[in-house]
Structure 1
Amino acid sequence: MKLKLGILDQSPTIEGGSALQALKNSIDLALFADKAGFHQVVYSEHHGVSAYGSSSPEILSAVVLEKTRRIKVGTGGIMMKNYSAYKIAEWAKMLGSFYPGRFVLGLGKAPGGLKDAVSALNNHRPVILSSQEAKLEEIIRYIKEEKGVYHDLIAQPTDLQQFPEILWLGSGIQSATEAAKHGVGYSYADFMKNDAGIESTETYLNEFDRNQYSPVPSLQVAVAVSVASSADEAKRNAYGMAYQFMQARHVQAPEPLLSSEIIEQRISGSADEEEFFKILDHIVADTPTQISKRLQEKAEEYNTDEIIVLCNMFREKDRMDTYKSLILTH
């Protein structure tokens, strides 16, 4: 099976580095991906943490769309709690009209930051925990120019050549069911390690409503990957990524990427050691000769032909080498 490979770019920062450099790295990676043949690149949204450089994936998407020519580019995703459906629809329609067929609107239900960041994004008012699914319905109505909450209100620009692709991000059965019900794509976060993964993606494919937003289901699986000349080296290169995943699980603000040596010192003999290595084992870490087979197995496991790769490395060269290995062996 020929896989469509994409990139989930969190614009990771490193210890002693800067968010600006992380964003420049993201642009360089996108330029490479466009020429190398990757299917798409999408950008995450994080607020109030020093680990990631991108707080505005819609702006980064606009910059990258203008600098590239072929690759699909989008948000992975916009954190819906922090914005109105109307404003999200306006972003999507503007980018969709400038770059028809290339902009992807990825939407997520997570807060996008810890408590203070979410409070600041919502003007220090309590976040209204209304249904994010209802907000998705409203976005679709604005994009399709159907009457919605405000009757004849339009979201400019109108009369798009084609609707932008919508991806609903999730890691569980509820998100899969919502994506299927509304006929939008579903991006399952395998890197978050949920035991209900297969059931989630099967639910999406089995329940997809072809009479809604899109007539064809679109299932992608986001996988954490590390490639190096040896499997041991690939695992060590992934230490920083695994450590950030662990911090996020503990509801801590992830730190910028640390070297494997520093992480080894912190983890060795600590209460977190067993958890850390379990997280590390879930990352697909292997050599250039084996990585294609590993990703094929992952795709077959989830019954999809689309894998989107997350790779955060302390050394940017190691991150780029991983993506280069993926495309060369694909």
Structure 2
Amino acid sequence: MKKIRLSVLDQSPVRAGFTAKEALAETVELAKLTDRLGYHRYWVAEHHNSTGLTGSAPEILIAHLAAQTKRMRIGSGGVMLSHYSPYKIAEIFNMLESLHPGRIDLGIGRAPGSDQITAHALSYGNQPRGPREYPTQVHDLMAFLQDNVDKEHPLQSVHATPIPAAPPELWMLGSSDQSAQLAAHFGTPFSFAHFITDENGPQILSLYRRQFSASALYSEPDANIGIFVICADTEEEAIKLASSRDLWRTRLDTGNIGPVPSVEEALSYQYSEAEETRRRYHARRHIVGTPEQVKERLSSLLAAYQVNEAVIVTITHDVKARRRSYELLADAFELSSSN
């Protein structure tokens, strides 16, 4: 297998007792740190109407992060395309690629990143687009990115300017066989969200590879997986840190996307039987431990998926512990750092 690459997915979480402004500042500092440590790419997420996640405008955050970093690819993980005009997204990411050549990723997804009322607000004046329209949106987005709209298309005279020397790298994000099949059909790289679900994950990636059809942009399948990881100097400390995320993730199932609770709140929380079942269900796919433990488990998981890139999601209430986790991972996998 090729040398393992580590990347970052940052949902810009708000910690209990802190502000969204501070969360965004923490995203900037983490990007600068992981850039120095040798991480391959840094993706920021899209969520709306949330007091716990601040990434409502990934395209703005990407522009800022790309200007603050030097080596990493910077991109979206991902833009929820169903809310938007493919033409406008192509314009935005062509602009980003023109400003930062060879460093911009456009990850797209089908999930709303919001509740249904917020989805209506995002599609102001129109009905939110559903799954049936999504393939057409992807088709049009790829055409605009390549500046090659079909002659029969009513928008064939429209160009997504500025047109960079090469388009941004396009990734399809998902956690289902339908998303994998769409990525295979359109011939794009595919990122499987293991941190959301691990149900049939390796089989889904195998399906993607079998059905992959080369496109004008990509001749071969390419994939990575998003994984939740906490790495600490001791296993006890890692498990303790993970308690915050466990409680936060359990609350998400009830629609509560609030701030990340402290370890003290998480450890004193009394889970109901149903909540404890949910907590265990989510926690079983997390990788939590010492650098040696995390490296072994992560390497085994990558081998099972037959990929060489892990996009790491790390959420802790202690911001120093979060940064330390990425530092320990970089050391464990011997990433090439820069001063």
User: TM-score over 0.5 for the alignment?
Assistant: yes
1:56-107 per-residue CA deviation (whole Å, 9 max, x = no partner) reads: 1111111111111111000000011211111111111111122121100000
Alignment of 1:265-304 (within 5 A): 265-304=268-307
In the alignment of these two chains, the number of paired residues is 328
SS of the equivalent of 2:31 reads helix
How many Å separate the matches in 1 of 2:36 and 2:185? 36
Unaligned runs of 5+ in 1: none
Match of 1:74 in 2: 75
Quote the residue 1:240 is aligned against.
Answer: 244
Aligned 1:177-188 pairs, distance under 5 A: 177-188=181-192
Residue 154 (str. 1) matches residue 156 (str. 2): no
- Whole-Å separation in 1 of the counterparts to 2:220 and 2:129: 33
Structure 2 gaps of 5+ residues are 334-339
Spell out structure 1 runs of 4+ moving beyond 4 A: none
Question: Which amino acid counterpart does residue 207 of structure 1 have in structure 2?
Answer: Q
Three-state SS of the structure 1 residue aligned to 2:101 is coil
SS state at 2:195 partner: helix
The match for 1:218 is: 222
Matches within 5 A, 1:1-330: 1=1, 2-123=3-124, 125-129=126-130, 130-148=132-150, 149=153, 150-158=155-163, 160-250=164-254, 252-330=255-333
- Provide the rounded CA distance (Å) in 2 between the counterparts of 1:246 and 1:270: 12
Contact 1:90/1:156, CA 8 A, preserved across alignment? yes
Partner Cα separation in structure 1 for residue 325 and residue 129 of structure 2: 41
Counterpart amino acid of residue 31 in structure 1: K
**Equivalent AA in structure 1 for residue 139 of structure 2:** E
From the superposition, tell whether residues 212 and 174 of structure 1 become closer, same or farther in structure 2 (CA, over 3 Å). Answer: farther
Contact 1:19 1:54 in 2 (8 A): no
Q: Quickly say closer, same or farther: Cα 1:291–1:91, change in 2 above 3 A.
A: same
Q: Secondary structure at the match of 1:314?
A: coil
- Paired with 2:170 and 2:35, the residues of 1 have a C-alpha distance of 21
Summarize the Cα distance change of 1:270–1:82 in structure 2 as closer, same or farther, 3 Å threshold: same
Deviation digits for residues 286-312 of structure 1, max 9, x if unmatched?
A: 102222111111110100001000001
| SS of corresponding position for 1:199 | helix
Q: Measure, in 1, the Cα distance between the counterparts of 2:204 and 2:251.
A: 25
Is the deviation greater in 199-208 or in 137-146? 199-208
Cα distance in 2, alignment partners of residues 241 and 303 from structure 1: 27
User: What SS is found at the alignment partner of 1:308?
Assistant: strand
- Greater mean deviation of Cα atoms: 27-36 or 225-234: 225-234
Classify the secondary structure of the residue corresponding to 1:45: coil
Question: Which segment is superposed worse, 132-141 or 109-118?
Answer: 109-118
Which whole-Å CA distance do the structure 1 matches of 2:246 and 2:206 have between them?
Answer: 27
Structure 2 counterpart SS, 1:240: helix
Q: CA RMSD in A?
A: 1.5
Among the aligned pairs, what percent are the same residue? 29
Cα distance between partner residues in 2 of 1:79 and 1:35: 29
Instruction: Quote the offset at 1:260 in angstroms.
Output: 2.5
- TM-score normalised per structure 1: 0.95
Letter in 1 for 2:7: G
Does the residue aligned with 2:111 lie in a helix, a strand or coil? coil
CA contact (8 A) 2:227 2:312 kept: yes
CA contact (8 A) 1:182 1:213 kept: no
Code of the aligned partner of 1:128: R
